[in-house]
């Protein structure tokens, strides 16, 4: 039998949050297996960022899998809908309703694939950068969803049902503000210049500066009193 | 808003069970959206069977999606492991342990993708042909897994969290013997000559007749007192 407590699967999108989570898992001295899904994001830039982050922080393996969620549609991130820019929401930085950038069942699908890979690797430790504070209101970022997924997963696989591994979905960022995430990542050595956050980058690759994701990121750096190393098209 | 109660997503593999489930859903006058995953099965024959069954029973749409689970490994169905033939297991037709044909987290992954598509279609009704009687001992075919998936799913998607749809995972075969499934499918008009069950077909496409899946199928037809319309390489 392989040792089961030194490996972890880390979902890595190339964004700020998942880079921080990877650094967190690495700081616990885990051998990390990064999983990135090419699901039909409109921007290859995200995948380049995921590769750069995996390389920079050091992973045992980085697996990029294809699953074209454009086939099922339903999201501005994978379909030809407009991504909203600069609209004000009640309450400031966080969303009042689930926005069009929501991708149906995305975290459920990604965690399920991570679960399969983790089982093959002989581990039940899965890390995901969901966040329920400065986030976009997605239902599959909430603690109650994560708990339910963990309960389901423990009944789903051979290794967990037969008691050889315990499935645990680790969400180290779930209760942090964006500013706290950034401060934590900096201490762990994350190079945020490698990460991509923008939903709707310019033709030259620069972040738009105005979509929901850009605004949350910029506000986070501001509140953390840190300089964001990436360049924005609009100030 | 679209009506939410006349559509269903049906997971369709091309095998006997999922064909029966599609016929069952059709018998409830549901508009069926069949979902087949090309996950790296060793045999394209399964996909041809899924297409033939979808066509024969009548679906609104048949979506074949690619997700190459060979990338994560761990199963004789997707890797270069031998599929066992003809071994006797204690207790006859059912397995005493989870066999090498188990694919890590397969039903979790397939149901998750179905969940995403169902949300886009405005329905929470998902049909899957799992069976916990004459089955191969897979953990993700048991009622407790299905219940946990349904609980998780109801917290996972926008439409369910906001109360517009209710996610229900329908498993009409879960308590039936293989003979009962076959008898039921015959009454519903399933042409079992179109379905594929064998894990390890011959070069000429005929079912081997001896793998776990073939033996369960043959025993089912025998007990149902019906003729299996497909031809086997070995009697």
CA distance B191 to A91: 58
pLDDT band at A97 (very low <50, low <70, confident <90, very high): low
The 8-class DSSP code of residue A192 comes to G
User: Which tens digit of pLDDT belongs to each residue from A158-175?
Assistant: 889 989 999 999 999 999
Going along chain B, which residue ranges are E strands? Answer: 7-11, 31-38, 61-66, 125-127, 168-170
Residue B33 above 90 pLDDT?
A: yes
CA–CA separation, A118 and A111 (whole Å): 10
Interface of B with A (CB under 8 A): 63, 65-69, 71-74, 98, 102-109, 112-113, 115-117, 119-120, 138-140, 142, 144-145, 148-149, 151-153, 155-158, 160-162
Query: How far away is chain B from the Cα of A86, in angstroms, using its nearest Cα?
Result: 23
List of chain B residues whose C-beta atoms are within 8 Å of the C-beta of residue A39: none
Is B214 among the annotated ligand-binding positions?
yes
B75 is in an annotated binding site: no
Which of the pair, B74 or A224, is modelled with greater confidence? A224
Question: What ipTM describes this predicted complex?
Answer: 0.90
Handedness of CA B88, B90, B93, B94 (dihedral sign): negative
Residue B195 banded pLDDT, cuts 50, 70, 90: very high
Counting one residue from chain A and one from chain B, the pairs whose CB atoms sit within 8 A come to 146
**Among partner residues B65, B105, B162, which is closest to A119 by beta-carbon distance?**
B105
* Chain-chain contact of A155 with B142 (C-beta, under 8 angstroms): yes
Could you tell me the CA-to-CA distances from A179 to A30, A228, A231, B56, B111 in Å, in that order? Answer: 25, 11, 18, 57, 36
> Closest by alpha carbon to B191, among B18, B48, B9, B19?
B19
In this prediction the pTM is 0.90
For residue B48 the two structure tokens come to: 């041809």
Contact check, Cβ <8 Å, A158/B139: yes
pLDDT band at residue B184, thresholds of 50, 70 and 90?
very high
Instruction: Tell me if B115 and A104 make a contact (CB, 8 A cut-off).
Output: yes
User: How open is the CA angle A166-A167-A168, to the nearest 5 degrees?
Assistant: 115
The two structure tokens encoding residue A15:
């964004």
pLDDT higher than threshold 50 for residue A93: no
CB contact under 8 A, B66 and A67: yes
Q: Report which of A37, A232, A46 is spatially closest to residue A128, judged by C-alpha positions.
A: A37
Q: Which of A115, A166, A2, A160 is nearest to B138 (CA)?
A: A160
Element (H, E) at A206: none
Confidence of residue B205 (pLDDT cuts 50, 70, 90): confident
A96 has pLDDT over 50:
no
Residue-range domains of chain A with CATH: 7-224 (3.40.50.620)
Do A109 and B113 make contact, defined as CB atoms within 8 angstroms?
yes
What pLDDT does B94 receive? Answer: 38
Q: Is B13 annotated as a binding residue?
A: yes
Show the beta-strand stretches assigned E in B67-184: 125-127, 168-170
Of the pLDDT bands very low, low, confident and very high (cuts 50, 70, 90), residue B87 is very low
Cβ contact A25:A8 at 8 Å: yes
Q: In the structure, what pLDDT confidence band is assigned to residue A21 with cuts at 50, 70 and 90?
A: very high
Please tell me the predicted confidence (pLDDT) of residue A62.
Answer: 98
Give me the long-range contacts of A196-200 (CB less than 8 A, separation at least 24): A196/A14, A196/A15, A196/A43, A196/A45, A196/A46, A196/A48, A196/A49, A197/A15, A197/A16, A197/A230, A199/A76, A199/A77, A199/A83, A199/A101, A200/A83, A200/A85
- Reported as a single tens digit per residue, the pLDDT across A31-61 is 999 999 999 876 788 899 999 999 999 999 9
Q: How confident is the model at residue B95 (pLDDT cuts 50, 70, 90)?
A: very low
Among B164, B105, B160, B106, smallest CA distance to A104 is for B160
Cβ–Cβ < 8 Å for B158, B117: no
User: How many whole angstroms separate alpha carbon B70 and alpha carbon A190?
Assistant: 32
Q: Give the gyration radius of chain A's Cα atoms.
A: 17
Q: Is the Cβ–Cβ distance between B111 and B151 less than 8 Å?
A: no
């Amino acid at each position: 039998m392989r040792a089961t407590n030194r490996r972890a699967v880390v979902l890595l999108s190339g964004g700020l949050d998942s880079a921080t989570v990877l650094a967190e898992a690495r700081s616990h001295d885990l051998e990390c297996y990064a999983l990135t899904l090419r699901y039909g994001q409109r921007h290859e830039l995200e995948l380049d960022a995921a590769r750069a982050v995996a390389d920079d922080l050091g992973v045992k393996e980085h697996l990029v899998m294809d699953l074209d969620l454009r086939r099922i549609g339903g999201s501005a991130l994978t379909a030809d809908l407009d991504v909203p820019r600069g609209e004000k929401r009640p309450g400031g930085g966080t969303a009042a309703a689930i926005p069009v950038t929501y991708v149906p069942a995305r975290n459920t699908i990604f965690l399920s694939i991570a679960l399969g890979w983790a089982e093959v690797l002989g581990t039940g430790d899965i890390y995901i950068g969901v966040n329920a504070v400065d986030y976009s209101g997605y239902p599959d970022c909430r603690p109650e969803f994560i708990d339910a997924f963990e309960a389901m997963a423990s009944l789903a696989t051979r290794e967990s049902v037969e008691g050889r591994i315990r499935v645990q979905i680790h969400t180290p960022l779930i209760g942090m503000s964006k500013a706290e995430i950034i401060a934590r990542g900096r201490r762990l050595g994350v190079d945020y210049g490698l990460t991509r956050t923008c939903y709707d980058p310019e033709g030259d690759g620069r972040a738009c500066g105005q979509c929901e994701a850009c605004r949350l990121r910029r506000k986070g750096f501001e509140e953390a009193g840190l300089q964001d190393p990436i360049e924005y098209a609009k100030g």
